[in-house]
Amino acid sequence: MSTDAKRVVVITGGSRGIGRTIALRMAGADTKIYFNYSGQSSTDAEATIKLIADAGGSAWAARVDVASRPDVENFFNKIVEECGRVDVLVNNAGITMDGLLVRMKEEDWDRVMAINLKGAFNCMQAVAKTMMKQRAGRIINMTSVVAVMGNAGQANYTASKAGLIGLTKTAARELAPRGITVNAVSPGFIDTPMTAVLPEKVKEAMLAQIPLGRFGQTEDVAEVVAFLASDNASYITGQVVHVNGGMYM
Ligand code: NAP
């Protein structure tokens, strides 16, 4: 990958779903996309890289579990060594391990918190000093509508995503003097591999709660992320932008 491009964008969990669409939306001749994933197979990641290349952009991916601090540090060190800067970080990687509160296994609680909340913390800490030196940067954290509504069966997930909102607001206050904005995007029900596995009855119940009468597409979320990362959003920080078809107002 050439190192003379202008903008460096890092997206966690870019191999499929919302992260892939964000990577595609933000790719371009003047942008380098770096993303990670954690699964054994690199097939999805390679497909994302190919889609970006076919559209005239360039991307590089690595198998890096956001829950692993050493791996995250190595990932960002490599990017900074290669490019000398990071302009945008999108903390998109996330998982669900659903179960009712009374039955939830401790390891399922811990794993979801480690990826969804601590993973974002790990990446923000790994990138903050670079952005502070630049006196510029954009951090966008992917939370969820259920962080503010609650959702039966998702104690771990809702807690992690609500925690991410608190983390976003604190980081926004701490980093604002250095010209760095930190915002959260809160999708409702988006059509991705994460939601494809839900039972039809659950999907029907979700649809009934959406005033706009359809599930969101990954593009609906990617557009908002791209806006928050753009110069046009320079006076927006510490906000949670909802993209949910009216499911939560
Ligand atoms: P998805 O299709 O399951 O994709 C998740 C991405 O994150 C994949 O690239 C996955 O790759 C990666 N990932 C998972 N665990 C990781 C880890 N430990 N380290 C690094 N990467 C990891 O999910 P999605 O629906 O696109 O969701 C993306 C984000 O939006 C998540 O944070 C999710 O909570 C949030 N969200 C989604 C919806 C929705 O309706 N889909 C709604 C609200 C919020 P590997 O599996 O290879 O690791």
pLDDT in tens, 68-96: 999 999 999 999 999 999 999 999 999 99
Q: What share of the chain is helix, strand, coil (3-state, %, to 5)?
A: 50, 20, 30
Our answer on whether the CB atom of 189 is closer than 6 Å to any ligand 1 atom is yes
Structural domains of the chain in order of their starting residue, each with its CATH number: 7-243 (3.40.50.720)
**Per-residue pLDDT averaged across 149-157, rounded?**
97
Determine the Cα–Cα distance for residues 72 and 66; give it in Å rounded to an integer: 6
d(CA 61, CA 14): 8
State the Cα–Cα distance between residues 30 and 172, nearest whole angstrom: 27
Beta-bridge partners for 32: 8, 58
Q: Is the pTM of this model over 0.95?
A: yes
d(CA 237, CA 125): 18
Q: Whose CA is nearest to atom 32 of ligand 1?
A: 94
> What distance in angstroms lies between residue 177's CA and the mean position of ligand 1's atoms?
31
| Residues involved in catalysis | 157
Ligand 1 centroid distance, CA of 234 (Å): 27
Nearest to 169 by CA among 236, 238, 86: 238
Alpha carbon of 186 to ligand 1 centroid (Å): 13
Mutation pick for ligand 1 pocket among 48, 117, 185, 194 (CB with most ligand atoms within 8 Å): 194
CB distance 18 to ligand 1 below 6 Å: yes
Ligand 1 proximity of 13 Cβ (cutoff 6 Å):
yes
CA distance 9 to 24: 11
121-140 pLDDT, tens per residue? Answer: 999 999 999 999 999 999 99
The distance in angstroms from the start CA to the end CA of the chain is: 43
Residue 2 has pLDDT above 60, yes or no: no
Distances (CA, A) of 199 to 107, 174, 195: 24, 42, 9
**Is pLDDT of 1 > 60?**
no
